[in-house]
Amino acid sequence: MIRELEQYREVAPKGTIDFLQRLSEQVQGKRFLQISAVRYGGGMAEILRRLVPVMKAMGIEARWEVIAGTQEFTDVTRRIADGLQGRTETITDEMYQIYLDVTARNAKALDLDADLVFIHDPQPAALIEHRKGGKWVWRCHLDAGQPHRPVWSLFRRHVLKYDAAIFSLPGFAQRLPIPKFMIYPSIDPLTEKNRELSRAEIWEVLDRFGIAKGKPMLLQVARFDRYKDQLGTIRAYRMAKKHHNCQLVLAGSGVLHDPEGEAVLAEVQQAAGNDPDIHILQLPPEADREINALQRGASIVVQKALKEGFGVVVSEAMWKGKPVIGGTAGGVSTQIVNEATGFIVHSVEGVTFRIRYLLSNPSVMTRMGAMAKEHVRRNFLITRHLSDYLTMLKLLCPD
């Protein structure tokens, strides 16, 4: 038995662990290298921190390397990432040379020898120019479906040299002459953000933030960003409150050193006014248990972003047995089964209508929450992600 894998037996769908163990026997001894720009922060890093040790325990020579860069390199790669996501950006020859030079230094410092190399997002993508063998796959976590064309034309030259590319959704992909695969992001049910919590643990967090227990709670977890539309959520709450005595929690990250985030937070605070039932929380990056408790303490979770990536926070909330009301942006509508695990809406009024419906029908809310958790169990857990990666390893690196 593989202990690191066995711990998921009680939460994964029946038969999953046995299947993964059989699959692992077919890729024993393979060398699997993951390269990213960060080791902490973001869903991708969270999943890799769990996947790599499990793969090692399964007999795969799994490694995870992180590139080093200067502030100039970080600024250039941020522009590239924004351009790939559709923002108008100008990348000068001088900027691009910084990108290539730092990449070349990383290529000398890293051991790139592996049977399968996964390169995550644009920051380390030019490492393909220094490949030493094996199969290379570009794993794009961004929505590159409608990029700023000059940036994509510049960046595409690297992508074409990969053996394959992976995107999170069909709409996030570009036309490419190399094989393309789709792999959904996932959540780890055993981490601090997703593990089971006792009622006492949940109540401790609610008490700490002054959130009333026993009063229906609407929750949105999102950074303070115009695209997350916290103002729209406040409007929906206010309309629903005319019919139900509820409260709203808007939980986001801190906005220190983020001028745009500070501006959005100020607008949200102004819109909230002196309403004692609106709680605006700025949480530190390590507040996983707090987010877990808020999601478990909520009655309904709202994720009505105007623009979104895959939005794995939806699956996090559904795993806690909560119905989610979300929009059509990004991967939100992929995770929600409309009218079964939650509701897909197209307007603030639609959010209000569904809030009122659920608060008026608690049995429906309970049933939807149970279906939501089961939907995540079958489609968005780390065990499925592991299966996808092992399948890629077997497919691209046959004996």
Residue type for 343, please? F
Measured from the Cβ of residue 196, the count of other Cβ atoms closer than 10 Å reads: 11
Same-domain pairing of 388 and 278: no
Query: Whole domain around residue 135: which residue ranges?
Result: 3-186+381-396
The predicted pLDDT at position 104 comes to 97
Same-domain pairing of 347 and 220: yes
Same-domain pairing of 172 and 210: no
**Rounded (10°) angle between helices 71-84 and 93-109:** 110
User: Is residue 171 in a domain?
Assistant: yes
DSSP assigned state of 125: G
User: Is residue 326 in a domain?
Assistant: yes
User: Is residue 192 in a domain?
Assistant: no
Same-domain pairing of 385 and 375: no
Same-domain pairing of 296 and 388: no
Could you tell me how far CA 374 lies from the centroid of its own chain?
A: 19
Give SS3 for 144.
coil
Same-domain pairing of 306 and 168: no
Residue where the block lists tokens 């949200």: 268
Same-domain pairing of 258 and 143: no
The tokens describing 170, both together, are 């069909």
Measured from the Cβ of residue 180, the count of other Cβ atoms closer than 10 Å reads: 16
Complete edge-to-edge strand list for the sheet that includes strand 61-66: 61-66, 31-36, 116-120, 135-139, 164-167, 180-182
Same-domain pairing of 315 and 206: yes
Q: For residues 336 and 296, what is the distance between their CA atoms, to the nearest angstrom?
A: 18
User: Is residue 26 in a domain?
Assistant: yes
User: Is residue 359 in a domain?
Assistant: yes
Same-domain pairing of 245 and 343: yes
The predicted pLDDT at position 398 comes to 85
Q: Provide Rg for the chain, Cα atoms.
A: 22
Same-domain pairing of 137 and 58: yes
Close Cβ partners of 259 (under 8 Å, ≥ 6 residues apart):
none
User: Is residue 91 in a domain?
Assistant: yes
pLDDT tens for the chain, 399 residues long, are 577 788 999 999 999 999 999 998 898 889 999 999 988 777 788 889 888 988 888 888 999 999 999 999 999 999 999 999 999 999 999 999 999 999 999 999 999 999 999 999 999 999 999 998 999 999 999 899 999 999 999 999 999 999 999 999 999 999 999 999 999 999 999 999 999 999 999 999 999 999 999 899 999 999 998 889 999 999 999 999 999 999 999 999 877 667 888 999 999 999 999 999 999 999 998 899 999 999 999 999 999 888 888 999 999 999 999 999 999 998 999 999 999 999 999 999 999 999 999 999 999 999 999 999 999 999 999 999 999 999 999 999 887
Same-domain pairing of 123 and 263: no
Same-domain pairing of 214 and 254: yes
The predicted pLDDT at position 258 comes to 74
User: Is residue 194 in a domain?
Assistant: no
Q: For residues 192 and 286, what is the distance between their CA atoms, to the nearest angstrom?
A: 10
CATH of the domain at 144: 3.40.50.2000
User: Is residue 193 in a domain?
Assistant: no
State residue 239 phi and psi, 5-degree precision: -70, -40
Q: What's the structural domain count of the chain?
A: 2
